[in-house]
């Protein structure tokens, strides 16, 4: 059984309440339950933190043993050399995900420190972006 983890960065714990016109009205916990039953032949772990160093710690912890990482570093995508370096340092494949189409938003969201070191990037499909990232790990 493949072992994947979804790692979400800052403010994504507020999904459902946060700017629903952009991020939708579903909580991540509700969505995660649906994902787990849709992909019940995969083990899908979940981690969320608002703290940059905690996200780096988690990437290091899982990044040599898991089969895949689905990373939405949220705002840190656009600022964090440290998270970009962590993605580069680990062995496990990372797919970068964003709920919104960051390229149709403010210019500061067009820059990503994750993308150069990620295996792929999926963005703009709402929460379905996570489904599509999971699909990329299925043979």
Q: Name the site residues for ligand DQA (rule: CB under 6 A).
A: 11, 72, 74-75, 77, 98-100, 102, 109
Nearer to ligand DQA, 93 or 102 (CB): 102
Q: How far is CA 55 from the centre of its chain?
A: 11
Judged by CB, which is closer to ligand DQA: 3, or 82? 82
Distance in Å, CB of 102 to ligand DQA, minimum: 5
Half-sphere exposure in the Cβ direction for 80 (13 Å, CA): 25
Q: What are phi and psi of 23, to 5 degrees?
A: -110, 0
Question: CB–CB of 74/100 below 8 Å?
Answer: no
Write out the catalytic residue numbers. Answer: 23, 98
In the bound complex, what is the minimum distance in angstroms from residue 77's beta carbon to ligand DQA?
6
């Amino acid at each position: 059984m493949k072992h994947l983890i979804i790692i979400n960065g800052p403010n994504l714990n507020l999904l459902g309440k946060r700017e629903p016109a952009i991020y939708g009205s579903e909580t991540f916990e509700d969505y995660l339950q649906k994902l787990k039953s849709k992909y019940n032949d995969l083990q899908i772990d979940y981690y969320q933190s608002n703290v940059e160093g905690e996200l780096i710690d988690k990437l290091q912890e899982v990044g040599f043993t898991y089969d895949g990482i689905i990373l939405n570093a949220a705002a840190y995508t656009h600022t964090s050399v440290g998270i970009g370096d962590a993605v580069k340092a680990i062995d496990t494949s990372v797919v970068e995900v964003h709920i919104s189409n960051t390229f149709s938003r403010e210019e500061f969201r067009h820059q990503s420190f994750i993308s150069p070191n990620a295996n792929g990037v999926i963005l703009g499909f709402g929460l379905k972006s996570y489904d599509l990232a999971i699909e990329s790990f299925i043979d």
